[in-house]
Structure 1
Amino acid sequence: MFQKLYYVWLVIAASVLFTLHACNSSGQVDAEQMPDTISYNFNIRPILSDKCFKCHGPDAAHRQADLRLDIPESAYQALKDNPSAHALVPGNSILSELYRRVSTKDTAEQMPPPSSNLKKLTPFEVDLIEKWIKQGARYEKHWAFVAPRSYPIPQVKNITWPKNPIDNFVLHKLEEKGVDPNPEADRERLLKRVSLDLTGLPPSLQLMDKFLADKSPDAYQKVVDELMASPQYGEKMTLHWLDVARYADSHGYQDDNYRSQWPWRDWVIHAFNENLPYNQFITWQLAGDLLPNATKEQILATGFNRNHKITEEGGVIDEEYRVSYVTDRTNTFGKAMLGITLECAHCHDHKYDPFSQKEYYQVFSFFNNVKEVGIESVVGGPETYAKRPLMQISNEEVKKILTFINKRDTDKLIVSIMGDSDKVRPTYILKRGNYDAHGDVVEPGTPKSILPFTANYPKNRLGLAEWLFNKNNPLAARVFVNQTWQEFFGKGIVKSSGDFGMQGDLPSHPELLDWLSVDFRDHGWDIKRLVKQIVMSATYRQSAVMSSDKLKSDPDNTLLSRGPRSRLPAEFVRDLVLASSDLLNRDIGGPSVNPYQPPGLWENATSGRGQLASYKQVHGPNLYRRGMYTLIKRTVPPASLGIFDASNRDQCEVKRLRTNTPLQALVMLNDPTVLEAARVLAAKLLADHSSSNDKIIKAFRLIMCRYPQKKELNILMAYYKDELKGMNKADAEKLLSVGEYPVPSNIDRLNLAAMMKVVDAIYNLEEAITKT
């Protein structure tokens, strides 16, 4: 037993070590440098936002001493408690109370007060404030609320490195910091990276061989074009949007019954594959039903705003839940399309950003006129699969109009969509956010600090969409470009992709973000063009290897001095296993399915009513569908996906957590899908008329997407021989019994079990499920 484990861990070590160079863990990050010119947005506002705005910011209810430090007219004026003093005296730090209070050692005078539990300013932060005041204490509008502008493409010293303008912006900053970019990744790793990023699937052996043999200058571009033209591109792009749209296959709450919202998911895949421009992609989802002569497809797109949780419990207050649905749509709009924490103004004025509670309910009013109720129907019947307003889709419409819907039966298909009442429902400011505490009536509107909602727009969701895509809207393009960048690099240019406000992270490359945003907008909101720009860049193509120098100079890859490296999203871990073993069912779209799951999970967490009261596993080809088609029951989300940080889709999520826990290793070691895939692939390998050496090379290539190094191959071969020698019939039968896919009857079962162990060991290497 020890010897078997020895071989497994040796191959794990060999796989991990090949990507790493020796690192000097004692390297220290250079000390902070004082800028020549102090920027309010990039140097001062983050300090004030973290340590001052809680008491001296936009929230009037919690403001102290009648002092606001987020706007100059308040910061410059005489203090209420001491008319002879001013918080800021431009050009004179000695006379500025702000500087005196943050620099004093007297705890009775010190700001923030020690009792506030806010962190004290560091000496460097105090020096920044002092220098800013001496330079005039000039305020700037928050960078994210200023419309992006197209910066000139920077000149760089290394003129041979850039492939497109993205690289000029990145390299310019690298050269300023004295850091060199990494060389381009080798072809095998680059192909694996771009294939996973564009399709969510590993490249086939045929594609690997073709790319390695193609010596033409445009070989990589040809691969990119081929991958983007595949229908799997739409599936890959859709997964992130399902998180954004909080898509699930159940209503949520206690009974958590089934919902038939999957045709909307089919539409999203179709929209990405057809490269529907982003402004139309969003407009249809926000207000497709309000478009002149709206088509069935445009109305179906509005299912985006009906993906929220819906209760079916008896005894609830109808209006309370109806208001919660409108709240969800409002919050989702703010986070998904504006990248702001609008929900923080639900109960009071935003404490950090310039959004009032009134403005929150002005946005709320756009979504407040839907013809819906808080609770509807009886649990269990087909009428509960969708909630009014809804749309019925006939077989004839699937054949002739909505041809992208993967409908396989003759059952009635219904989807929840948007539809407004003829009579306008009044919208009130809700005091403390309580559904029944009506304050003043408000009209539809938007936060003025972003862009005023003028009389030119219709006062409905279509007007909101027009406002969103106004050329002067500072957030629409930036937010989507940033989310798209995040999908390829693991984090956005703005790391806090759901918060572009005062508490959010500053962009690492602000000029690049603006240039990309303007370029995206001015080229017709073309999503495929944006994606291709990113993956064709030298920045993206870099090796992911982190040297000791890079560990010191760019530990978090903020400067983009190396290529992206990250574990695959949960659904793509499953997809890689299924694809590499040739088990994958590649059907596009259709209803969600129930693959293998530990018994009893649903039954122990259900009311015992409705279609989803008990877990009914599928069989046959549906057992091997892509991870994105796994049925999501909100109260009991799929365990294996959840362990790998998949969203449970309770609310809008624009960025998943990335954790690394022992449970993930246990899933890879014990999940029936992984074990079955190892068995099936092993059987296919043994059917080849090739040597054991060649079989293991093929398995390694299918999973790792590269040829094994000699040492790795030797370890795997030794492991195979050892397993074959020690395998007995009883152990083999137990090992081969996992999964429903049939075992070939004419195969040596001891040999199959030994080869299965080798394949399973490869699946369990870190590199197998890592994009490098």
Structure 2
Amino acid sequence: MLFHRLPVAFAFLVLACQIGIADEKPTPEQLNFFETKIRPVLVKECYSCHSDEGGNVRGGLRLDTQSFTLIGGSSGPAVVPGELNDSLLWSAINHEDMAMPPKKKLSDQQIADLGRWIEMGAPDPRVSEVVEYRSSISEHDIETAKQDFWAYRHPAPSTPPSVKQTAWPKTDIDRFIASKLESANLPLATDATPNLILRRLSFDLTGLPPTPQQIDTFARLFASDPDRAIAAFVDSQLANEAFGQRWGRHWLDVARYGESTGGQVNMTFPHAWRYRDYVIESFNDDKPYDQFIQEQIAGDLLPAESDAQWAQNLVATTFLAIGSKNLNEQNRIQFAADVADEQIDATTRVFLGTSVACARCHDHKFDPIPQSDYYAMAGIFQGMKTYFGNPPSEFGSFNTVQANQNSSLLVLPVDDPNPFDRGYTASELADLRQQITSKIDEARQTRSNPNQNQAARIRINNVIADLSAKLAVVDQNGQPLSYCMGVQESPKPSNAKLLTRGEIDLPGRAIPRGIPSVLTASPVKIDDDSSGRLEMARWIGSDQNPLAARVMVNRIWQHLIGTGLVTSTENFGTTGSPPSHPELLDFLAIEFVKSGWSVKKLVRQITTSRVYRIASTFDQDSFDSDPDNTLLWRANQRRLDSEAIRDAILAASGQIDMDPPRGSEVAKAGYLRVRGGILGDPRELMQQQMVGMSRRSGFGRGRQPASSAYERLSQQLDMNDATFRSVYLPVVRDELPRSMEVFDFADPSAVIGTREESNTANQSLFMMNNPIVISQSDAMAQRIASFVKRPTGQVKAAFVLALGRPPTDAERSATLAYMKSVESEQGSAMQPLASVCQSLFASAEFRYLD
């Protein structure tokens, strides 16, 4: 008998039905039957391995409470009331696919009694007492917060203030900034030099340094008309595909983009790259942000005019599926609850700047979000199935040997397969089908032979699953199918039960599906036959929501100015930072919505302002008055992020490949498991560790052999030979490329709106010793030498390519003297220039925007 695991989210519905049956109060006869025939057997034969009291919960299965008996362990529900064939306890006590108790079989009478008990509906008096929930947050508290707290009020229209120095502002944005500075008696900053403004614009808009041609053109235009020069450059870069690559990476930070599950069992996501490309394309197309929101939360429920649009909508929902997952979790219901919790946390923090997940176990400690509001949202998210794992298989999936929790993928309605997926010829398809048939016959013979051990049966079943998995990923002609991660609506939505202390075995009353009350002027209507996810997505992506526009405006401001108007980018609650310029934040939020939620128009509005172009000149009096530069009396110096540093090195050397790669290195590697720094093919692992498995509850803890597929990926994790843009580097959780990790790459398991900016010795050592830096320094020197022969010209070219400016007289003299001394020592004309290039890469000016 081959076991088919229930889909993770569907397990919620199964459990709800089971509890509905089991919640019926046992009759006196049933109660007597349980106490005399069932409980004694469970206590004597099962509790030592499957109870909290015994301190041993093998396979994640507990049989000492009704709820945990129905939930089951890693293999599924132990008991399905009224259904013998679906109850794993029944097959186990009959020693069919597993032997429980393992040392001896129960007596025929005990087996018959347990079978009768299951058939009568598994009446069980061991029901956990429901604790009545009483919130510490009153309706009055919520209504007061709606009226008094800035984030819960809708953005208020305002007129840009008048200022004394009327010549300084270029835009309405500048009037808000200047008004605050004048009120604080702080001077208005002067403009930065043209080369600094251009470098700032280029990196902010595309993540790349300006080219020598752009530097010359900009300088000429700026000399006659600075406003025109800036506007023309901004427009050209907004139309550049590099804009989407730069700003798409910003979004991937908050979307916790990663190409594996993370954790001890770290399974790869070979189809995550589709979401990466969707995000980049969305920013390049200037997709309205409200539509962008709705597609990621409920793309599978939105209307589509074509298969291509439908496929794009499905890929968009990868946002909900791509979070990190604890595949070690034995309990499927706990796993599903944790997945929903991660989705709630990401959705509310990314789009609303609010952490609703803090109310999972109790009322929110600081914001007016009662625990009931959390479970109102949980009902919405539990009404869908999350697809993140392997392609579906008729006979199961080899994912069963990879982890305790598995999942399939969505089939796209277009012909767009993973570029590395393999197809099969007609003869290969026939051979696969024949192998499956042969193994099924072998499995039948094994079940009828008591001398065959459990390990042999499991080995055969997994071979069948492996063969079936190969067959399942192609169509009837052997061509690869197209898959993506994402979500789908469950057929029967239901309300979630409030869990006391967040524990799944302490369910309370069901909470109607909805959105936290403090965020809505009136409840969002959800139909009984709808999960509410589409209604939630449309509300979040609308001007009826007081937070979505503000949160996105604040993110864009932060990326361009260096710090947000609200510095706590994911926390607009009471423990977050209040806005430094609340009227400006509301003004920009309203303008953002009026523009059609256009990100590009908002970026243009900010980058053409006077405040964007000011210098970073230090002023002691201003610093004493405003040490954090909250009022923007000068520009914020910013270190380039890891992607911009790597891309700038490649651009300076002339080696950068601006053509996006198809897929990713993870897609090439396929479905693999990471553990202890080594990725291994789970099927290969299974073959080596199957011996003696029946004597253990799981696989051994030894290091895995690296498969040839992972050896390829492992060699490429630092991507020393890759020249495409950094946004396309593999993002394997816990296995980040060194060039990303050392410069504070965003943690792919968390929502990161503001990256850390450290300055460490490791960064200096990276610039001194890393093969990328060394090889690109050589390439840059060769590039310069190919078109400039004189050392003086070579020094100038190196400074322009690396720093966006020519050297000063002192820098030129010192560099030429250094090159001459090195050349005389080593006898090589190329090495001195290469070392100069590397020194420029290692300089603070290269790594920082001034």
| TM-score, normalised relative to structure 2 | 0.67
Structure 1 SS opposite 2:509: strand
Give the alignment of 1:80-229 within 5 angstroms.
141-214=148-221, 215-217=223-225, 218-229=228-239
Shift of the 622–312 alpha-carbon distance from structure 1 to 2, 3 Å rule, reads: farther
Give the alignment of 1:740-759 within 5 angstroms.
750-759=828-837
In the alignment, which residue of structure 2 is the partner of 1:517?
589
CA shift, 1:763, in A, is: 0.7
In the alignment, which residue of structure 1 is the partner of 2:321?
306
Structure 2 SS opposite 1:419: strand
Shift of the 755–602 alpha-carbon distance from structure 1 to 2, 3 Å rule, reads: farther
Shift of the 72–524 alpha-carbon distance from structure 1 to 2, 3 Å rule, reads: closer
Structure 1 SS opposite 2:484: strand
Counterpart code for 2:833: M
CA shift, 1:501, in A, is: 0.6
In the alignment, which residue of structure 2 is the partner of 1:45?
none
Distance 1:561 1:372 in 2: 48
CA shift, 1:684, in A, is: 1.4
Distance 1:385 1:299 in 2: 22
Equivalent residues of 1:255, 1:379 under 8 A apart: no
In the alignment, which residue of structure 1 is the partner of 2:715?
617
Is the counterpart of residue 450 in structure 1 residue 519 in structure 2?
yes
CA displacement, residues 678-718 of structure 1 (integer Å, 9 cap, x when unaligned): 00001111222431011111011111011111111112111
Gaps of 5+ in 1: 1-59, 74-137, 400-409, 595-600, 729-749
Equivalent residues of 1:331, 1:342 under 8 A apart: yes
CA shift, 1:470, in A, is: 4.0
Distance 2:524 2:578 in 1: 33
Equivalent residues of 2:388, 2:407 under 8 A apart: no
CA shift, 1:187, in A, is: 0.7
CA displacement, residues 449-500 of structure 1 (integer Å, 9 cap, x when unaligned): 1215535455521100222244342111111111111111222100111111
Distance 1:302 1:71 in 2: 31
CA displacement, residues 130-176 of structure 1 (integer Å, 9 cap, x when unaligned): xxxxxxxx996111111111111100111111111100000000000
Structure 2 SS opposite 1:617: helix
Aligned length: 610
Please, which of 746, 759, 770 is the counterpart of residue 647 of structure 1?
A: 746
CA shift, 1:647, in A, is: 1.7
Equivalent residues of 2:198, 2:215 under 8 A apart: yes
CA shift, 1:372, in A, is: 4.1
Shift of the 642–325 alpha-carbon distance from structure 1 to 2, 3 Å rule, reads: same
Equivalent residues of 1:379, 1:609 under 8 A apart: no
Distance 1:396 1:360 in 2: 38
CA shift, 1:567, in A, is: 0.3
In the alignment, which residue of structure 2 is the partner of 1:546?
618
Structure 2 SS opposite 1:657: coil
CA shift, 1:391, in A, is: 2.9
In the alignment, which residue of structure 1 is the partner of 2:333?
319
Equivalent residues of 1:386, 1:416 under 8 A apart: no
Shift of the 689–523 alpha-carbon distance from structure 1 to 2, 3 Å rule, reads: closer
Distance 1:67 1:253 in 2: 39
In the alignment, which residue of structure 2 is the partner of 1:427?
496
Distance 1:658 1:436 in 2: 43
Shift of the 437–605 alpha-carbon distance from structure 1 to 2, 3 Å rule, reads: farther
Distance 1:496 1:309 in 2: 23
Structure 1 SS opposite 2:545: coil
Counterpart code for 1:591: G
CA displacement, residues 345-401 of structure 1 (integer Å, 9 cap, x when unaligned): 1110011100001101112222111224898742499999994351337546999xx
Counterpart code for 1:278: Y
In the alignment, which residue of structure 1 is the partner of 2:843?
765
Counterpart code for 1:284: E
In the alignment, which residue of structure 1 is the partner of 2:369?
355
Equivalent residues of 1:371, 1:389 under 8 A apart: no
Distance 1:510 1:456 in 2: 31
CA shift, 1:651, in A, is: 2.3
Distance 1:205 1:395 in 2: 42
Structure 2 SS opposite 1:624: coil
In the alignment, which residue of structure 2 is the partner of 1:722?
821
Distance 2:250 2:319 in 1: 13
Please, which of 733, 736, 740 is the counterpart of residue 634 of structure 1?
A: 733
Is the counterpart of residue 567 in structure 1 residue 567 in structure 2?
no
In the alignment, which residue of structure 2 is the partner of 1:660?
759
Shift of the 61–382 alpha-carbon distance from structure 1 to 2, 3 Å rule, reads: closer
Give the alignment of 1:215-614 within 5 angstroms.
215-217=223-225, 218-259=228-269, 260-293=271-304, 295-313=310-328, 316-372=330-386, 377-379=397-399, 387-392=407-412, 394-395=414-415, 412-452=481-521, 454=523, 456=525, 459=530, 460-588=532-660, 590-593=662-665, 604-606=676-678, 608-610=680-682, 613-614=710-711
Distance 2:338 2:501 in 1: 14
Structure 1 SS opposite 2:722: helix
CA shift, 1:541, in A, is: 0.6
Equivalent residues of 2:660, 2:724 under 8 A apart: no
Please, which of 807, 811, 814 is the counterpart of residue 712 of structure 1?
A: 811
CA displacement, residues 639-669 of structure 1 (integer Å, 9 cap, x when unaligned): 3312211123112222212222211111122
Aligned-residue RMSD, C-alpha:
3.2
CA displacement, residues 287-345 of structure 1 (integer Å, 9 cap, x when unaligned): 111112462222221111111124555x7222211111111110011110110121211
CA shift, 1:552, in A, is: 2.2
CA shift, 1:181, in A, is: 2.0
Distance 1:275 1:580 in 2: 29
CA shift, 1:255, in A, is: 3.1
Distance 1:395 1:606 in 2: 33
Counterpart code for 1:165: D
CA shift, 1:620, in A, is: 10
In the alignment, which residue of structure 1 is the partner of 2:107?
none
Gaps of 5+ in 2: 1-132, 391-396, 420-478, 667-672, 683-706
CA displacement, residues 548-597 of structure 1 (integer Å, 9 cap, x when unaligned): 23322332211011123110111111111111111111123532348xxx
Structure 1 SS opposite 2:615: coil
In the alignment, which residue of structure 1 is the partner of 2:800?
701
Distance 2:592 2:292 in 1: 14
- State, as a whole percentage, how many aligned pairs show the same letter: 31
CA shift, 1:250, in A, is: 1.3
Q: Which moved more, 1:581-590 or 1:219-228?
A: 581-590
| TM-score, normalised relative to structure 1 | 0.74
Counterpart code for 1:523: S
Structure 1 SS opposite 2:411: strand
Q: Which moved more, 1:267-276 or 1:546-555?
A: 546-555
Distance 2:498 2:382 in 1: 12
CA shift, 1:608, in A, is: 3.8
Shift of the 62–474 alpha-carbon distance from structure 1 to 2, 3 Å rule, reads: closer
Equivalent residues of 1:494, 1:506 under 8 A apart: yes
Shift of the 293–759 alpha-carbon distance from structure 1 to 2, 3 Å rule, reads: closer
Counterpart code for 1:253: G
Shift of the 502–430 alpha-carbon distance from structure 1 to 2, 3 Å rule, reads: same
Distance 1:385 1:297 in 2: 27
Shift of the 505–312 alpha-carbon distance from structure 1 to 2, 3 Å rule, reads: closer
Distance 1:205 1:633 in 2: 36
